Structure 1
Amino acid sequence: MVPRSRTRNLQVLDTELSADAVEWCPLSQWHNVLACGTYQLVKTPDGVDAQSPMASRVGRLYLYQFHQEGPLCPPLTEIQRIDTPAILDIKWCHVPVLERPLLGMATACGELRLWRLTDSEEGRCGLELVSCEEVGPERLALSLDWSTGRGDSTDARVVTSDSAGCVSVLSLGETSLNLLSQWKAHDFEAWISAFSYWDTQLVYSGGDDCKLKGWDLRMGTSCPTFTSKRHSMGVCSVHSNPHREHVLATGSYDEHVLLWDGRNLRQPLSETPLGGGVWRLKWHPSHEHLLLAACMHNDFHILHCQQTLEGGGGVCPVLASYILHNSLAYGADWSRLSLEGPLPCSSQDGVESAGAAIEVGGHLRIQYESPTASFDTSLEDETGRYIPENEVPLVARTSEASNPIPSSDNPNSLSCLLATCSFYDHMLHVWRWDWTPEETGNTMEEGGQGRAEQNNEGQVTLRTCPGEAAEGEI
């Protein structure tokens, strides 16, 4: 049986500044809340290097609410925007703090900022700044992670990495962050840092020196517990699986996703070529085998890792790809919202648009004739009225043989809401993925492996900080 997989765009928003981080709130009462961070390098005066931390970088933090009230109503509504220093990463704490959601933010001025989600008198929620801690002068805070990935509310801490190659661990008080330790971890930029969610005394870091390192805070930080050079370029993404102990996913500018067993880091469990440089990885919040990858120059992909995690090894097949962004794929996240059944199918599904070439088979691609076409215009009519994707000709053509709509009657079917953002076109996309697994897995694995190999051909990898293009790019 052919696996049924379909991605559908729900809404696109222009963030005005370059978008590089997006996060759905993980707390049940606020699953419909979405945060998006942006980063913009302002033209520097003569004599100031654009790569320097002293260069001017501005950002904006957006807050949205998702409500799918009807076919003619855009589901995402902006409820707040806050001008900030440029944002490199944002992460919600997985547990409430003082009974409220807490959002961490890593900024280009070397700060960690904490924002509390509160309710206004009008009944709408909003963010208020509760803490700001500088991790060091003349550096960019590049990433952050919370120790609360498995819902443990005791001893909540934050780990962050920076452009000076340092990693810092901070404890969380009621209204402040307190620096516990900071050490030089990498020779160049430390792009990523993350906790092991199963043993939060273990910290992982990845840097532009092409090294993945582990640190045991109980043993001190003068020496890593391991150093891996398995990635051939800078390591920029690390995520601990919250459902499977010892499982770790890493991504790199070398365009590969590696899965690891934390008990044996001499050799990865699997290596999957995706193309484009893997900037962010996110395990699904409830399905242990699903991994979302943001691949910079090669869009967004959903990997199925069951065979690897059950000891089978090999390349992780790609279940679906979201290829509607026109620029660098940076931010990506799964929502925990429960979607009620598939979206209604329009009679226009299957109508071929004059302006798009569409690839079927579970991988959605739209190629515009005009290089200046923008997605938001395709979702509005002449009067600015919102038109859902299933009413627009620019949608994926489907047929019962090639890409049937997954059935909500199947108990194994899965419907997911996702948000992704891209950089130079400053776009935020909200989309839906419906999937019904096949019974045997053979077709899925063969098709997925071929897709991964195809994506790895002819890709260009550029080692640049978000917003600072390499020579000749764009």
Structure 2
Amino acid sequence: MAGKSKTRSLQVFDTELSADAVEWCPVSSSHNILACGTYQLQQGKRVSPPAAPVVFEFQQEESLSPPLIELQRMDTAAILDLKWCHVMVSGKAVLGMAAATGDIQLYTLIQSLSSLEVGADRLALSLDWSTGRMDSSDVRVVCSDSAGCVSVLSLAEGTLTALSQWKAHDFEAWISAFSYWDMQLVYSGGDDCILKGWDLRVGPSCPTFTSKRHSMGEFCMQVLLWDGRNMRQPLSESAMGGGVWRLKWHPAHQHLLLAACMHNGFHVLNCQEALGNGRACPVVASYILHNSLAYGADWSRLSLEKHAPCSPTAAEPKESLTETRGHLRIQYESPTASFDASLEDDAGRYIPEGTAVASSTLTAGPVSNPEGDVPSLTCLLASCSFYDHMLHVWRWDWTPDEAQQESEQC
């Protein structure tokens, strides 16, 4: 049983160009900042250089106006991936972007900080920061590119410097990432259907492991969970369908995994039980209001202590629902006639399903459930889709069943 789970749209934004990556800022003073990367396809070309990554601010004031406000639009080359540094650099939040020109570009909210080309005639496809455990003593970036190479760069005094680069895969290397348990370990995956590990202390002449368990190029059709100490066999395999393009762990509840599944929407997996018994991870929430390839997705660290206002309504019945003292509000209506509805009181505050009165203050962590004082979770998320160039900001409310709660407490 998944418990009680509900998703609802807060806002839908047209990014104008094809959207492929979204990231909430992890720096505590900027949790309300969201970045969205875009690029534009042209006939006969894989990507067109012009793009306009957009930076937003999420506002929580109780208002009928949309919560997402555009702050900055940057004219850059097409963006294939973007990630925020987990710590401030020289007192500023820094956004890293992998560009179609083969550059890793760093930006603050105001201006360009640094840029470094990882190779000629190639696309930079992914990047990751070494700051995942909030350590600012050694800030590095790992990136992968369309030539199958992986590069490690250092950031010191606001300048990127190349440390090493090696041929990691026979085809495009779509993903690269640091192990947040040991920042000297790097993982990479590519169109050769191989996942590899690299130890930066011994150099890249030979990978520490090579796995061919993926049946398609990473990204793949399945989510495999691994123990980094034993890469011979995955701990769990979960078939998602549609092709998995992005995976994001919840920043606080580490058993929750957000998956962007291209042709199959966005899903939240509960990996708690799967890590212990090897079974597939159950899906506890789904968001399927996008009408195109599900590419980018991310969890917000922002606390929802204040009510997040909703987008202007597409329709709203005049009659109130007297038994719950609320109004039915349609949050978003798509071209395919699908919609997401929720109950709200006269002040526009969300009423949880089955509740007789409006609920109290919401938070991004465990909250009290009016139906039985059972710990529940409220999360703010963002997702984007490609061909329809749409960015969605949405909310997920979840009350696990008793068995799940007992498992999580063990």
Range class of TM-score, shorter chain: 0.7 to 0.9
Unaligned runs of 5+ in 1: 45-49, 118-126, 237-251, 357-363, 380-387, 392-396, 445-474
Q: Compute the displacement of 1:408 (Å).
A: 4.5
What code does the residue aligned with 1:148 have? T
Distance (Å, rounded) in 1 between the aligned partners of 2:290 and 2:386: 9
The yes-or-no answer on 1:112 pairing with 2:104 is yes
Give distance in 2, aligned partners of 1:341 and 1:412.
19
The SS at the match of 1:275 is coil
Deviation at residue 331 of structure 1 after TM alignment:
0.5
SS of the residue 2:74 aligns to: strand
Report the equivalent of 2:237. 271
**2:279 pairs with 314, 320, 323, which one?**
314
Match of residue 181, structure 2, among 198, 210, 234: 198
Q: 1:137 aligns with which of 120, 123, 130?
A: 120
Q: Does 1:288 align with 2:254?
A: yes
Identity across the alignment (%): 66
Inter-CA distance 389–103: structure 2 relative to 1 (3 Å threshold): farther
Q: Select 1:170's aligned residue among 135, 149, 153.
A: 153
Q: One-letter code of the match for 1:206?
A: G
| Mapped partners of 1:341, 1:152: distance in 2 | 30
Task: State which of 79, 103, 112 in structure 2 corresponds to 1:87.
Answer: 79
Residue matched to 1:3: 3
- Per-residue CA deviations over 1:296-335 (Å, capped at 9, x if unaligned) read 00010001011123x2220111110000000000010000
Decide whether aligned partners of structure 1 residues 78 and 399 sit closer, same or farther in structure 2, where only a CA change above 3 A counts.
Answer: closer
The one-character-per-residue Cα deviations of 1:74-120 (angstroms, maximum 9, x if unpaired) are: 10000111111100000000011111111100000100000023xxx
Q: State the alpha-carbon separation in 2 of the partners of residues 2 and 430 from structure 1.
A: 23
Tell me the CA shift for residue 399 of structure 1: 5.9
- Shift of residue 3, structure 1, vs aligned partner: 1.2
Q: Is the 8 A contact 1:3 1:438 kept in 2?
A: yes
Q: Given the alignment of the two structures, is residue 413 of structure 1 paired with residue 379 of structure 2, yes or no? A: no
Matches within 5 A, 1:199-238: 199-236=182-219
Structure 2 gaps of 5+ residues are: 311-315, 345-350, 360-366
Residue 39 and residue 420 in structure 1: after superposition, are their counterparts in 2 closer, same or farther (change >3 A)?
same
Amino acid of the structure 1 residue aligned with 2:223? V
Query: Do 1:26 and 1:336's aligned partners in 2 also have CA atoms closer than 8 Å?
Result: yes
Shift of 1:407: 5.2
Whether the 8 Å contact between 2:20 and 2:385 is mirrored in structure 1 is yes
Counterpart AA for 2:393: V
2:201 partner SS: helix
User: Which moves more between the two structures, 426-435 or 344-353?
Assistant: 344-353
- Gap change, CA 1:285 and 1:351, over 3 Å in 2: same
Deviations 1:417-443 (A, max 9, x none): 00000000000000001111111139x
| 2:328–2:343 Cα contact (<8 Å) kept | no
Q: Tell me if structure 1 keeps the 8 A contact 2:101–2:123.
A: yes
Distance (Å, rounded) in 2 between the aligned partners of 1:407 and 1:15? 36
2:164 corresponds to 1:188? no
SS of corresponding position for 1:63 = strand
Q: Which residue of 1 aligns with 2:347?
A: none
User: What is the aligned-residue RMSD (CA, Å)?
Assistant: 3.2
Q: Is the 8 A contact 2:61 2:309 kept in 1?
A: no
Distance 1:342 1:312, change over 3 A: farther
Q: In the aligned structure 2, how far is the partner of 1:10 from the partner of 1:419?
A: 10
Structure with higher strand content:
2
Matched, 1:333 2:298: yes
Q: Is the 8 A contact 2:150 2:173 kept in 1?
A: yes
Once the two structures are TM-superposed, the CA of residue 342 in structure 1 deviates from its matched residue by 7.1
SS at match of 1:200: strand
> Matched residues in 2 for 1:79 and 1:389: separation?
29
- Sort the Cα spacing of 1:308 and 1:194 in 2 relative to 1 into closer, same or farther, 3 A: same
Normalising by structure 1, we get a TM-score of: 0.74
Q: Quick one: which amino acid aligns to residue 225 of structure 2?
A: L
Q: Tell me if the contact between 2:66 and 2:309 (Cα under 8 Å) persists in the aligned partners.
A: no
Cα distance in 1 for residues equivalent to 2:178 and 2:297:
19
Alpha-carbon contact 1:32-1:67 (below 8 Å) kept: yes
Q: Structure 2: how far apart are the matches of 1:343 and 1:90?
A: 25
Aligned to 2:401: 438
Pair 1:305-2:271 in alignment: yes
Contact 1:201–1:218 under 8 Å retained in 2 = yes
Query: Using the alignment, how far apart are the partners of 1:367 and 1:75 within structure 2?
Result: 18
Change (3 A) 1:210 1:367: farther
Task: Please give the alpha-carbon distance, in whole angstroms, between the structure 2 residues aligned to 1:339 and 1:351.
Answer: 21
Q: How many residues align?
A: 382
